[in-house]
Each structure stands twice: as structure tokens, then as C-alpha cells.
Amino acid sequence: MRRLGLLSPGTKLHRLLSMGRPDGYDLHKEMGDVFVTISPAGLTLIVADPKVVAYVNSKRSEFPKPPNTGAIINIYGRNVTSTDGDVWRFHRRVTGPVFSERIHRVVWQESMNQAHLMMQSWLPSTDREPDSVRIPSFGDDILHLGLNVITGAAYGYPLGWNENPPCASSTSLSYHASVEQLTAHIMSIFLTPRWLLRLARRESTWGRAWEAYDAFGGYMRGMLNRERGHLHAGDNREDNLLTALIRAEEMADEKEGRSMEPHEVTGNAFIFLFAGHETTANSLHYTMILLAQRPDMQQHFLDEVDEVYDRAALEGRDQLEYELDFNRAGFTLAIMLETLRLYSPLSLINKWTATDQPITFEGQTYVIPQGTRISVNATGIHSNPKVWGDNAREWEPSRWIIEGGNGITPLITPQPSRSSSPMRRRSSDILEKDSPSPSPLSPSAPLLTPFSVLEQYSPSRMLSRSSSVCSATSSGAMSPPVSPSVIVKPAKGTFLPFSEGARACSGKKFATVQFVAVLFTLFREHRVELEEGWSVERVKGVLRGRKAGALTLQPPESIPLRFVRR
């Protein structure tokens, strides 16, 4: 251990400790993949080593959430994200089963419907559709779409583009404006007593914070009241998240021996809508910008879009269906994974040691004292060159794809997984490589990194090898595979946008289905381009920053895009 000198406000470490937002892997180049900071607040173990992370995430009882972590998202009540232990298990039992294949079918259709409505909102009120449309603030529109998708699919209330759900409060704020204002004022709402907010002048910051809090709470109560009415009337409706929460409030849980408190119902209704719509929308926002600045990758993606629609047409369908078409979107899935790797909604995952805990790092075991905060630097892991190769900072969706049966030899031979087979079939079209994750307490075990099987060949070589239908390009080369046969499954501890282990995000499949459905709708007849005056280097500069005050990762300024008919 070495003593650190005083840290100036401009250092990366100071920014990490002050803001809770790590700056990629740069900090660890100097300090190492695991290091400890000591301050008046106590010890903090900062980790960007996949083996250590996998071990910590596999021991939920030994490394629980720190006390009071997530209090800022308890503004409407405790929820599945902010709780731990038995309370978390109760919340998970209530909310987890909602995210089934039935709701994913609804997500698929609702995502396509909302994407169509969003595109219609861009068009001028003329009879003739223009060949291109300028989108000055795609980020705002995609947040709007995300809110509507969750409201329709998870809350059972489909909305028109500018429609509001029922509201139990008297407010002049629209549904979407209430969420926007709530996001902007969430810190004031968290820090200020509700009675004081209620007394504030309406035009003040605190007055606007109260207006947003009351309005959004009113919309949640309005939807809950509507769902209660359907439930008590015995209406023949499909269950949704609100139905599950209401039933948990009215009937005691057998294992927990209690029912869900009213504030827990509103707390969970809030967190799924608030966090869920923003994280997926931001991923789509970054993806759109990245596709615009990488025409080569956009063309690979468009090839896949065209083939999926062509297959549907051959099967006598003019619309895509979840059961038939979702699993054909291999390259689209790779795009999503790569975007989440570089622009993860989770930059820090916080744990702490409930008791003294041994951790092995680089062959040596250390005892981490009780009460030590553990900050998993997800952004650092996602850009760790030891895991992802020398081009870890580059957006390369092709790193996630392996075309099977073409003589490509992995640099590291995968060991058998727990299921005794290194390959696990996820669907009829896409296979997922199941990479085991050795415990850090076994330092001799090799780390199987997602990049280890790809770094020996270039994207162009990989993309030109396919048993799928290929078409000749003008240069005589073959186009990339539009239905890749293998999607790399990263080793545990290397890929954390949805966290992992027992506390992994239950809405992962929901978000993935929404991502694919929205992109396939937007790009059926269009491509995206950067607006004139926006060079690739200028865009890269913007993407290196982040929006100040935002709870999730967002670009610091709007990048205008142009949708062009193709």
C-alpha cells in the first residue's frame, strides 16, 4: 500500500469520489485494477478487475448494498432497487414474474407503434412525405417514446403520442412534462421536506419541484386507481406490473407474512417507469448517433433489417412479429451490447462488506475490513484493454459476433460450463457462448474474456464470412452476415450494464425487445446521418462528455440528426 498525496480538484480520482462517475479505465492505468482510498468517510475499494467483480457479485449476503444507498429513489416509497435482504426478496417476488414472454410480446408491438407515432410527429403537415427530415433533439423524442412504451406495456395503459393517462391530482403539467420536471428537480425533492416544498412559491425552484412531484404522483395514482377498478370488477384483462403490485397490497405474501405497504406500491410503480424508460431511451439515443457517424456499420445493420423484412414478406407478412422475427436480429443485438459497453447506464455499482471478507487479486488474498465500501467501476471494466483489447475505446459491434464453422480458432479455448456444454441454444437463429467465470479465489484459472475469441481477426474479415445469404457489393466483396450464428456471452464480471448475479435487472429482456423493435421500425425505409456542420470528430468530442446533473448517462448537448429515405 502506498500513501496518496493530496488530490487536486482536477484529478480523475477526485472526480470519481466527488461525483460517483468514473472516467473509463484511465484512472486504473495509474492506480491499478483494484485499489483502496482512505478518507474521513472510511475505506473504499475501487475495482475494475473482472474476477474480483464476479466474486463480489456472486456473494450477495457477504457484499450487500451499503446502508441508505438509493435513498434518492425512495421519494415515493421503498422499491425493489433501493431495498436489500428480506425486503428486497419480497419486492422481487412480486415484480419479477411480471417480465414474462407474454409482456415481451406486448413490448414488441407497443415499441413499433410508438416508433411509428414518433416518426409521424417529425413530418410536416403536408400531403407529400419529404425525402429527409431534420431531428434537432432526438434525445427528447426517444425519452418520450420510452415513457409511452413502459406505460402501455408494463402499466396496461397504451397512449397516443401526446396523450395523458388519468391523473388523481389537479395539475397543468402533462404526463411527459411531469417526468421531465421530476428528473430536473429530483435532488430538491429528495433533500427538502414535502411540507416545505408544498409551501414554496410556485415560480421558485422548490415550487416547481413540488408541482412535478405532485403531478407525477397523481398520474401514478390515477393509473393504479384505474387498474384497481378493473381488478375489482373482474374485467378480463391481462395482468401487468400495476396488477401485481395491487394484489401484493391486498393479499399477504406467504413467505413474507405481510402485504405490500401503499408507499411500496407507489415506490415500485415509480422506479420501473422512471429508471426503465430513461436507460433504454438513452441507449437508443447513443446508438442513433453512433450509427450516423459509422456508415459502414449502419450499412451492415440495414442489410439485416432488409433481410428480416424480406423473410417476413416471403412468409406472407407485412409486419414483423415478436415470436418469428426478434431472434433474427443478431447484428442488432451486437449493436445494443456494444453501445451498452461504452455508454453504460450503470457506471458505478456500490457494495459494502457486512463482515471482514477475503478477496484474492493477482494471486494474493487480502482481508477487506467490515464496513468497507466497494465501488465497482463498470465503465472502467468496459474499457479495460486486458478484457476488450487495444481497441477497447472504439465502438465495434462486430466484436460480439462469431460466425461458426468457418475455421476460426479462439485464442483461449472455452472450458465446459456448469451445464457441461460450452454452447447453450437461446433460439433457432442465435447461439450464446456460455463462458465460465472462475472465482478470484482460484487465481490459476484463466479469465475467459469476450474479446479473447475475436481479437485475432478484423471486423471486415469476420463480417465477410457467413453461411447466410450474401449479396455482392460493388467492390466484389460479400456483404456481412445478416443473421450471425453466435453472439459472444461475456465472462462474468466483464459486462455490467444490467448488473449481474441475483440483483441483475429484471427488465433486461424488456429493454432488449424494445431496442430491437424501435430500430427495426425506424430503419425500415430510412437511414440516419449527421447534420451538416457536425464532423465525426466533433461528435466524438460531445460523446466523451456527459450531461451535468443527470442520474443516468446522457450526452451533454443535443446532436442534430437527419433521417433520410433510402
Alpha-carbon distance 314 to 328, whole Å? 15
What Rg value do the Cα atoms of the chain yield, rounded? 24
State the alpha helices, DSSP H only, in 367-475. 378-382, 385-388, 459-464
Alpha-carbon distance 311 to 321, whole Å? 12
Give the distance from CA 86 to its chain's centroid: 26
Q: State residue 97 phi and psi, 5-degree precision.
A: -65, -15
Alpha-carbon distance 251 to 229, whole Å? 16
Per DSSP, the three-state class of 37 is strand
505 is in an annotated binding site: yes
C-alpha cell at 63: 457484499
Residue-level length of the chain: 566
C-alpha cell at 422: 460450452
Helix (H) or strand (E) holding 34: strand 34-39
CA distance readout (Å), 106 to 103, 154, 158, 391: 5, 9, 10, 38
What is the crossing angle of helices 262-293 and 85-95, to 10°?
Answer: 70
Residue 165 is which amino acid? P
C-alpha cell at 462: 469476420
Nearest alpha-carbon partner for 63 in 346, 349, 354: 354
Annotated binding site for heme: 505
Residues placed in the known binding site: 505
